[in-house]
Structure 1
Amino acid sequence: MSSVAPSSLVLARAGGDDLDDVMAVMCAAFDKRFGEAWTRPQCAGILPMAGVSLTLARQDGRPAGFSLSRRTADEAELLLIAVHPDAARQGVGRELLKRFMADQRLAGARHLHLEVRDGNPAVELYRHEGFTVAGRRSNYYRGTDGDRFDALTMVLTS
């Protein structure tokens, strides 16, 4: 994974008007067999809530990835992060994660949380950025074929 973001990468706050781009990335990035992707109504429903933030990454003007998070008091949770396969392994995910961390710290969050499917390659990125495994949710994700997958809860505390 590259540690340098592509020079054409632009990260910006996003909203409901950007859901087409978010869903295009989500559908391409998340393998249906794991049951991790959110639906458009789920994304649209959370966006107006207090403390929720959506960041969209564009590379050469095209949607390359996004992150969705929420903050309450001094805690923030990374709800979703995805990178389009065309932009994979180019530092897009790392830049989105770093933006999440920086924005939430600036907003006063001292405890950062996320949840990820055990076995997802992103676990290594999270560990590299200082997150540690705090727990496991057995059989949390349900794939389209009924298979179940564990989730890891990870934390970063300042």
Structure 2
Amino acid sequence: MIRISDGDISSLPDIAALVERAFPAEYGEGWNASQLRSMMSLRHVRSYVAHRDHDLVGFAIVRTILEECEILLIAVDPDSRREGIATGLLAQLTSEAKAMSVTRLFLEMREGNAAEALYTAHGFRPVGRRTDYYRGPTGLRYDAITFADIVGQ
């Protein structure tokens, strides 16, 4: 059974390890431990963690300012994908966003990322593009697509 709860800075080592497993280095999407620590320490940033027993199998990090919430990073362990974990994380953060009077959710993802099907199934629609936003270790660049969802619709 999957349990979703609030994360905190004590979750950082497990989140950093999951980032290594979940984001292929070739695309430059994953964050390092220092970037995660910096972001998770900010006042308007919140994290959600998904555990199976004692193992972290997914997480989401979001930033909420006024009526907008941005999903900064969301990941599920590759061995646990297609089990509804990302859907559970999205449901939890959306529910809490509604309670905080958030009206729009945003996220950015690499063009061609298989997660696009998940986001569109949950109401996200493309609203913009950032050319050459992601840079892999070999120097190849990839566009990011910005998605938005109106909360409550």
Count residues with an aligned counterpart.
Answer: 151
1:150 equivalent in structure 2: 143
Q: Secondary structure at the match of 2:41?
A: coil
Partner Cα distance (2:28, 2:39) in 1: 19
Deviation string, structure 1 residues 1-48 (Cα, Å, up to 9, x no partner): xxxxxxx10011111111111011111000000000011111111222
1:87 equivalent in structure 2: 80
Q: Secondary structure at the match of 2:46?
A: strand
Deviation string, structure 1 residues 52-81 (Cα, Å, up to 9, x no partner): 101111012211010000100000000000
1:5 equivalent in structure 2: none
TM-score, normalising length: structure 1: 0.92
Aligned residue among 7, 25, 33 for 1:14: 7
Aligned letter for 1:44? R
Aligned letter for 1:79? L
2:64 equivalent in structure 1: 71
Counting aligned pairs with the same residue, the percent is: 34
Q: Aligned ranges for residues 39-50 of structure 1 at < 5 Å? A: 39-50=32-43
Aligned letter for 1:59? R
Partner Cα distance (2:70, 2:102) in 1: 10
TM-score, normalising length: structure 2: 0.95
2:99 equivalent in structure 1: 106
* C-alpha RMSD of the superposition: 0.9
Aligned letter for 1:46? M
Aligned letter for 1:131? F
2:20 equivalent in structure 1: 27
Q: Which runs of 5+ in 2 are unaligned?
A: none
Partner Cα distance (1:96, 1:143) in 2: 27
For residue 91 of structure 1, report the CA deviation from its aligned partner. 0.9
Deviant stretches of 4+, over 3 Å: none
Partner Cα distance (1:149, 1:106) in 2: 35
1:54 equivalent in structure 2: 47
Aligned letter for 2:7? A
Q: Which runs of 5+ in 1 are unaligned?
A: 1-7
Q: Does 1:120 align with 2:113?
A: yes
Partner Cα distance (1:18, 1:135) in 2: 32
Partner Cα distance (1:121, 1:102) in 2: 24
Partner Cα distance (1:123, 1:112) in 2: 15
Partner Cα distance (1:52, 1:62) in 2: 23
Aligned letter for 2:133? Y
